Amino acid sequence: MGRIFVVELEGRSYRCKFCGTHLALPDQLVSKSFRCRRGKAYLFSNVFNLYFDSDLLVNMRRVNITVGVLEERMMLSGMHTVADIFCCCCGGIIGWKYEAAHEMSQKYKEGKFVLERGRIVGEMDFSTELFIDTHPE
C-alpha cells in the first residue's frame, strides 16, 4: 500500500470522529439535508485524506480517505453508482462517494461525497482530547 501522508487543513474543518483526521472544509459543504441508514449526513463537493482501492482509477486525487469498490445501490432518491469511503488513518467508514446517478434529477450528486454526521466532528479541543461538535443538527 505504501506510506500514508495525511493533509492538515487550515482553519475550521470536519474531522474523523474516531481519530481526528481532517476530512473537509466548511466551504466545501453543499448540503446538510442528506440522510443515511444511521441518521443525518452532509454532502460535500470535495473531501481530503482518502485512500483509494487499487481497483479504482489512479488519476483521482484525494488524500486522508479510502474509496472502496464501486457498486450499484438503491438509495432513497433512486439508483446510484457509489463507493464507500474510509478514513485513511483509522480505516473507519465515514460515508460514500456518488460516481453516477441514474435519474436526471439526481445528476448534481455525481462526483460528490457524503459524510455521515455521526462519524465526523466539526472541531477538536486538543486541550481536553474531547471532540466538540460545533455544528449541531
For position 10, what pLDDT does the model report? 72
Residue 73 has pLDDT above 70, yes or no: yes
For residue 26, which phi and psi values (nearest 5 degrees)?
Answer: -55, -30
Banded pLDDT at 91 (limits 50, 70, 90): confident
For position 6, what pLDDT does the model report? 65
Which helix (H) or strand (E) element contains residue 31? strand 29-36
Q: What is this structure's pTM?
A: 0.76
Residues 1-12 pLDDT 10s:
455 556 677 778
For residues 31 and 52, give the distance between their C-alpha atoms in angstroms, rounded to a whole number.
24
Q: Chain centroid to CA 12: how far?
A: 16
**Best-predicted range by mean pLDDT (1-10, 46-55, 107-116):** 107-116
For residues 85 and 24, give the distance between their C-alpha atoms in angstroms, rounded to a whole number.
13
Pick from 132, 38, 31, 26: nearest CA to 94? 38
For 99, other C-beta atoms within 10 Å of its C-beta total: 18
For residues 60 and 57, give the distance between their C-alpha atoms in angstroms, rounded to a whole number.
6
